[in-house]
């Protein structure tokens, strides 16, 4: 490891260990230094290869712009200046380029300032809400207009009031072209709603996040051996036969999403005043099912499982590891049990050995054999968001209000 081990008796948990905390801060700063190269000369953002050089002729997708704003907003509140002007540039890009002035909403993909893919996806729109909420907490002057706009779009176009869930996709001019409903957009919808509640104090955001989490966890996972179906029909019935985009809509179940849902459930529980013990129990069941299901004997977590917990796709991506780290950190804060600390350390040891780029900063997206990165699904380094949160969220003492707690601690200050 690149940080000192606590004593063999485990008396010092890593969340409190100064050496581990220094390791997290260094990793976050090096990732931010790497992704400082994201702005391009055309006013947009560039996708980066493993060396930090721009990839040629790549469309800019909505979730990339929004995640950069969110990540650099968190970093700014944590004390690290936005030297590359990513927040301002991203906010301008959302409003002037991704925002659809003709039909409303936000288009999925742009290139050189032009719309490349105009589909309106809930997945992308909830990330606009996340970016606007974090930008508001970071004090950005344009955050209020963006948050007001995206809240209206999500409410008018995507929110299914009867189900208490987000519908998924429309054409650019809001025509229905599929009956697909999905967990992934709703999971990130809960994330965005919780951030909007933290940014504004409005209770409706918290209420809607709770409805989403209750449907997928108490309503689905609790009846299906604590594995969450990913895909649903128009009536919100699980569609076990569905297989779509291999990254965003893979067949089967996705253990990485169980970790995310567990962390978000604990965040909601904390913000809601910690009502009862069900949320902690449910979060633990999700985590304690997904870890043994997905853990590979060589380290890392399998990407997808079948509905009985058997591995379907054994690819070991970075983001399930980061989300497992976040879930274990939350459990260690809320309800530590024997084994939580061991899993937290095991995950970080694997990340340190197989995923973190110690030479250039950032994380490789996929672990290969013999400790070398793989390049199957992804080109370059597609994302800072997951890894940065895995670095930052364990640094704060609470389960919620991460942005505000980072602002109080300023761990990334010089």
Check 20, 257, 281, 358 and give the catalytic one: 257
Rounded distance between C-alpha atoms, residue 25 and residue 39, angstroms: 23
The helix (H) or strand (E) run that includes residue 159 is strand 159-160
Q: Is residue 237 part of a domain?
A: yes
Q: Is residue 261 part of a domain?
A: yes
Q: Is residue 382 part of a domain?
A: yes
**Mean pLDDT of the region 224-230:** 97
- Tens of pLDDT along 203-223? 999 999 999 999 999 999 999
Check 20, 98, 188, 386 and give the catalytic one: 386
- Tens of pLDDT along 106-154? 999 998 888 999 999 999 999 999 999 999 999 999 999 999 999 999 9
Angle, vertex CA 322, rays to CA 320 and CA 324, nearest 5: 65
pLDDT band of residue 9 (cuts 50, 70, 90) is: very low
Rounded distance between C-alpha atoms, residue 274 and residue 222, angstroms: 20
**Tokens matching residue 266:** 């604990």
What is each CA distance from 297 to 163, 272, 326, 352, in whole angstroms?
40, 38, 21, 17
Number of domains making up the chain: 1
Q: Quick check: 249 and 183 in contact, CB under 8 A?
A: no
257 assigned to active site: yes
**Mean pLDDT of the region 319-337:** 98
pLDDT band of residue 10 (cuts 50, 70, 90) is: low
Q: Is residue 404 part of a domain?
A: no
**Mean pLDDT of the region 310-325:** 97
Q: Quick check: 109 and 64 in contact, CB under 8 A?
A: no
pTM: 0.96
188 assigned to active site: no
- Tens of pLDDT along 33-88? 999 999 998 888 999 999 999 998 778 999 999 999 999 999 999 999 999 999 99
- Tens of pLDDT along 350-379? 999 999 999 999 999 999 887 678 877 888
What is the span of the domain harbouring residue 201? 19-397
CATH number of the domain enclosing 308: 1.50.10.10
3-state secondary structure of 365: coil
Rg (CA), the chain: 20
Q: What percent of the chain has pLDDT over 90?
A: 90
Transcribe 105-123 into DSSP letters: SB-SEEETTEEEE--EEHH
Q: Is residue 208 part of a domain?
A: yes
């Amino acid at each position: 490891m690149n940080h000192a081990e606590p004593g063999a008796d485990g008396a010092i948990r890593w969340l409190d260990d100064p050496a581990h905390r220094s390791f997290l801060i260094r990793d976050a700063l090096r990732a931010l230094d790497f992704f400082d190269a994201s702005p391009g000369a055309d006013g947009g953002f560039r996708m980066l290869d493993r060396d930090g050089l721009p990839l040629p002729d790549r469309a800019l997708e909505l979730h990339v712009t929004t995640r950069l704003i969110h990540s650099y907003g968190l970093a700014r509140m944590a004390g690290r200046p936005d030297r590359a002007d990513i927040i301002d540039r991203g906010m301008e890009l959302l409003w002037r380029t991704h925002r659809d002035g003709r039909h409303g909403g936000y288009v999925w993909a742009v290139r050189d300032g032009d719309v490349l893919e105009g589909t309106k996806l809930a997945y992308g729109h909830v990330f606009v809400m996340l970016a606007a909420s974090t930008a508001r907490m970071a004090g950005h002057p344009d955050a209020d207009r963006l948050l007001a706009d995206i809240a209206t779009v999500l409410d008018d176009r995507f929110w299914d009031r009867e189900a208490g869930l987000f519908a998924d996709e429309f054409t650019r001019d809001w025509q229905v072209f599929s009956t697909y409903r999905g967990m992934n957009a709703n999971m990130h919808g809960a994330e965005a709603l919780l951030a909007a509640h933290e940014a504004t104090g409005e209770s409706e955001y918290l209420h809607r996040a709770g409805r989403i989490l209750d449907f997928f966890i108490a309503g689905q996972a609790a009846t299906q051996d604590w594995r969450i179906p990913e895909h649903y029909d128009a009536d919100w019935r699980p569609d076990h036969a569905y297989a779509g985009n291999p990254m965003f809509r893979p067949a089967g179940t996705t253990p990485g999403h169980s970790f995310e849902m567990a962390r978000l459930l604990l965040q909601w529980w904390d913000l809601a005043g910690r009502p009862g013990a069900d949320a902690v129990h449910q979060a633990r069941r999700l985590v304690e099912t997904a870890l043994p299901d997905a853990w590979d004997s060589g380290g890392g977590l399998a990407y997808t499982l079948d509905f009985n917990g058997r591995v379907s796709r054994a690819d070991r991506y970075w983001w399930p590891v980061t989300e497992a780290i976040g879930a274990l950190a939350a459990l260690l804060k809320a309800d530590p049990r024997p084994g939580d600390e061991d899993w937290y350390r095991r995950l970080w040891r694997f990340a340190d050995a197989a995923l973190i780029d110690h030479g250039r900063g950032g994380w490789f997206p996929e672990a290969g054999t013999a400790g070398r990165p793989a390049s199957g699904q992804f080109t370059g380094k597609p994302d800072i968001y997951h890894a940065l949160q895995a670095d930052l969220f364990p640094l704060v003492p609470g389960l919620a209000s991460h942005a505000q707690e980072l602002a109080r601690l300023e761990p990334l200050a010089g």
